[in-house]
Amino acid sequence: MNFETDILSVFDKKWALLTAGDKDSFNTMTVSWGGMGTIWGKPVATVYVRTSRYTHEFMDREGYFTVSFYPEEYKKTLGVLGSKSGRDMDKMNDSGLTAKEAAGTMTFEEAEVTLVCKKLFMQRLEPSNIIDKDVCKFYENDAPHDMYIGEIIDIIKKPVNKANFDDPHNELFVEEP
C-alpha cells in the first residue's frame, strides 16, 4: 500500500492499533474508522472510540495516544486485538507484539508506521445529531462513539533492512542525500 496516495483508505483497508497509556498501564485496540488531515493549522489524526471500550478509559485519562499501522502478516493479530477486550485478557502479553515507549506513550516494535498524537479535542458523536438515517443503525444496540482529534507530533517509521532500503521500488526507499 502506498501511504502517500492511499491515505483515504488507509484505516479502512489496513486497520490500525490505537494505544494509550504509559509502560506501566496501557491498552490497545484495533480501529478502522479514522482519518488524517489538518485542523487549527496542525497535522492531525482523528479516531472514533465507542464509550464501552476499555481503551476509552485510557483515551480519556491520557494526554497522548498512538495510531500504528502494520504489515499484512499482522492482520490476524489485529483481528484478535479488535475482538477481545483488555478487561478480559492480557492483550499486551498475549498478542505476541512487542510493546515499546514512544514519546512517553506506547506503540509496538512491529509497527511499520506510528503516529504519535497529542490529544487536542474530544467530542461525543451524539446520536441525536445524526442527519442521515443510515447512520442510526450503528447506535441502535451499541454505545456512542467519542471523537478524539490528536496533533501528530511525531511519525516513527520502522527502519527497513539494507536490502529493502536499496530497492528503489520499495515504498520506503529513501534516496541518500
Ligand X SMILES: Cc1cc2nc3c(=O)[nH]c(=O)nc-3n(C[C@H](O)[C@H](O)[C@H](O)COP(=O)(O)O)c2cc1C
Q: What is the contact surface with ligand X in residues (CB under 6 A)?
A: 15, 27, 29-33, 48-50, 53-55, 79, 82-87
Distance CA 74, CA 70 (A): 6
Please report where in the chains the cell 515504498 appears, as a residue: 171
Nearer CB in complex with ligand X: 126/167: 126
Shortest approach of ligand X to residue 81 CB, angstroms?
7
Nearer CB in complex with ligand X: 83/161: 83
Shortest approach of ligand X to residue 24 CB, angstroms?
17
Residue 76 burial (CB < 10 Å; 0-12/13-18/19+)? exposed
Please choose, from the candidates 40, 41, 57, the residue with its C-alpha nearest in 3D space to the C-alpha of residue 49: 57
Question: Quick check: 116 and 66 in contact, CB under 8 A?
Answer: yes
Shortest approach of ligand X to residue 116 CB, angstroms?
19
Question: Quick check: 71 and 1 in contact, CB under 8 A?
Answer: no
The DSSP line for 2-24 is -TTT-GGGIIIII-EEEEEEETT
Nearer CB in complex with ligand X: 126/166: 126
Shortest approach of ligand X to residue 143 CB, angstroms?
8
Nearer CB in complex with ligand X: 47/102: 47
Shortest approach of ligand X to residue 153 CB, angstroms?
22
Nearer CB in complex with ligand X: 52/164: 52
Closest CB to ligand X: residue number: 82
